[in-house]
């Protein structure tokens, strides 16, 4: 009996060739696993193609709910943004795909998993490291990274063997998508000076084409998770799908980033993530209302770390578990509603409310009804300023020291000692 490999199968050229390659070059029985993370493909056709090419089994699984609940929303709650512009759609999708590959490998008694990544990107790292964390015993095979055939060479290789690869017209772009976002790279985009052509976008209108009239929508969160749109309860998948439509219509969520890949290359990437950007902005607005200053500070300090670990393929690590536990704890009271204004490429929080709000009208107001005792400020400031006055008296204003003077060299901060 031949050994078995579970291949992450998208139905595209690379992974279609990989089915036959794994069989011919490596002697594997190939189980093709196609996972739906909201990438809008005809999955029945993909399944049939896998069998036609020579897979021993083709499996299609819906990962959308797991993706939103265990990957996208936790990344949202952490405020994870890579290099200011990337909401990590692909980066959070890969560990889930790895998890599902490993699960199927166990069910089917396979000894290896395979994926269609090249050796130049981040995705290979995410698949390989995630698999190593979940199942260190499984072999990992990346046919494209090994055979290094170009697109043309793969088409010829397939034709010579009568492999029915998909007859897609060669797009100059490389795209990837799931519910959390869509990425576009290659083609003219490889020149960072080139304006991204309008044809690359699929989820968002251009600012010019977006409606003149703004639209206001309400997003409600419970414990940091989005649960309602305009008051209607919905599951996370439906909520994100709906919001992708609403915000995409107004041109929200396009970014253009020359990004730093883990493997050392800078690459130009265009992203569309209308729902994800709208949710991040709304979530942040609600946190302003419901988290204390040190909570906000500490969370903010961890955002970068969190985004990096996701980007760099370290989802299944103890470090991630620790950070996630902290983030989850901060979300206990992040419950409430944010009114977002969608207009001409922007999603801006216009209003926010929460039953757990730390904002107090009675304390903040300058109108009648002010409950803040201004007299208390005097004593507080005396104590706050006590060490300042003490140091000024004994050091800064002492005989022979230059007092604070503006516009003179004496007023400038002293040079540090050599
Ligand atoms: N640059 C992004 C990342 O590293 C998107 C990668 C998209 N993947 C792809 N195979 N086209 O996460």
pLDDT at 406: 75
pLDDT at 40: 74
**Main-chain dihedrals φ then ψ at residue 341, nearest 5 degrees:** -105, 115
What is the reported pTM? 0.94
pLDDT at 110: 98
Ligand 1 midpoint to CA 176 (Å): 7
Q: How many CB atoms lie within 10 A of CB 383?
A: 8
Q: Among the atoms of ligand 1, which is closest to the Cα of residue 176?
A: 11
Task: Choose the residue to mutate in 121, 129, 313 for probing ligand 1, maximizing ligand atoms within 8 Å of C-beta.
Answer: 121
pLDDT average, residue stretch 185-199: 97
Flag whether pLDDT at 410 surpasses 90.
no
Q: Per-residue pLDDT tens for 315-372?
A: 999 999 999 999 999 999 999 999 999 999 999 999 999 999 999 998 998 888 888 8
Q: Where in the chain is the domain with CATH 3.40.50.620?
A: 4-170
Contacts of 128 (CB under 8 A, 6+ apart): 140, 142, 313
Domain 175-291+334-356 has CATH 3.90.1260.10: yes
Determine which of 76-80, 164-168, 210-214 has the lowest per-residue pLDDT on average: 164-168
Dihedral sign for Cα atoms in the order 353, 358, 362, 363: negative
Q: Per-residue pLDDT tens for 11-28?
A: 999 999 999 999 999 999
Ligand 1 midpoint to CA 121 (Å): 7
User: Between β-strands 346-353 and 225-229, what pairing exists: parallel, antiparallel or unpaired?
Assistant: unpaired
Q: Per-residue pLDDT tens for 65-89?
A: 999 999 999 999 999 999 999 999 9
Residue pair 324/78 in contact (Cβ under 8 Å)? The answer is yes
Q: How many CB atoms lie within 10 A of CB 395?
A: 9
Confidence of residue 200 (pLDDT cuts 50, 70, 90): very high
pLDDT at 168: 65
Q: Which residue, judged by its Cα, is nearest atom 1 of ligand 1?
A: 269
Confidence of residue 169 (pLDDT cuts 50, 70, 90): low
Per-chain mean pLDDT for the chain: 95
pLDDT average, residue stretch 113-129: 97
Q: What is the second-level CATH architecture of the domain 4-170?
A: 3-Layer(aba) Sandwich (3.40)
Q: Per-residue pLDDT tens for 216-232?
A: 999 999 999 999 999 99
pLDDT more than 70, % of the chain: 97
Q: Where in the chain is the domain with CATH 3.90.1260.10?
A: 175-291+334-356
Ligand 1 midpoint to CA 212 (Å): 33
Catalytic residue numbers, as ranges: 14, 94, 123, 174
């Amino acid at each position: 009996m031949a050994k078995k490999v579970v291949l992450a199968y998208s139905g595209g050229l690379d992974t279609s060739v990989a089915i036959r390659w794994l069989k011919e070059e490596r002697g594997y029985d190939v189980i093709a696993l196609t996972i739906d993370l909201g990438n809008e493909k005809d999955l029945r056709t993909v399944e049939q193609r896998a069998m036609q090419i020579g897979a021993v089994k083709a499996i299609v699984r819906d990962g959308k709910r797991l993706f939103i609940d265990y990957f996208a929303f936790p990344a949202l709650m952490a405020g994870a943004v890579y290099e200011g512009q990337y909401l990590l759609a692909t980066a959070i999708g890969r560990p889930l795909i790895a998890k599902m590959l490993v699960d199927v490998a166990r069910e089917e008694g396979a000894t290896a998993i395979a994926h269609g990544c090249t050796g130049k990107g981040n995705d290979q790292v995410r698949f390989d490291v995630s698999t190593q964390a979940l199942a260190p015993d499984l072999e990992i095979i990346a046919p494209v990274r090994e055979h290094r055939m170009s697109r043309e060479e793969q088409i010829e290789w397939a034709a010579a063997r009568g492999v029915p690869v998909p007859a897609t017209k060669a797009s100059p772009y490389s795209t990837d998508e799931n519910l959390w976002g869509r990425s576009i790279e290659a083609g003219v985009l490889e020149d960072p000076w080139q304006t991204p052509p309008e044809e690359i976008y699929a989820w968002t209108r251009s600012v010019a084409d977006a409606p003149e009239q703004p639209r206001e929508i309400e997003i409600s969160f419970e414990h940091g998770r989005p649960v309602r749109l305009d008051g209607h309860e919905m599951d996370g998948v439906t909520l994100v799908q709906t919001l992708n439509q609403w915000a995409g219509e107004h041109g929200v969520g396009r970014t253009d980033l020359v990004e730093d890949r883990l493997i050392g290359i800078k690459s130009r990437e265009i992203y569309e993530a209308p729902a994800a950007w709208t949710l991040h902005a709304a979530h942040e607005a609600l946190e302003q209302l419901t988290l204390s200053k040190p909570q906000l500070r500490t969370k903010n300090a961890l955002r970068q770390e969190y985004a990096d670990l996701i980007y760099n393929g370290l989802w299944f690590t103890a470090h991630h578990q620790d950070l996630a536990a902290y983030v989850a704890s901060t979300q206990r009271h992040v419950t409430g509603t944010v009114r977002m204004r969608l207009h001409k490429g922007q999603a801006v929080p216009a209003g926010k409310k929460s039953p757990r709000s730390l904002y107090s009208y009675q304390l903040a107001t300058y109108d009648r009804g002010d409950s803040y005792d201004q007299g208390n400020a005097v004593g507080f400031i005396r104590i706050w300023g006590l060490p300042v006055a003490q140091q000024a008296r004994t050091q800064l204003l002492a005989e022979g020291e230059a007092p604070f003077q503006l516009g003179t060299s004496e007023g400038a901060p002293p040079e540090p000692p050599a």
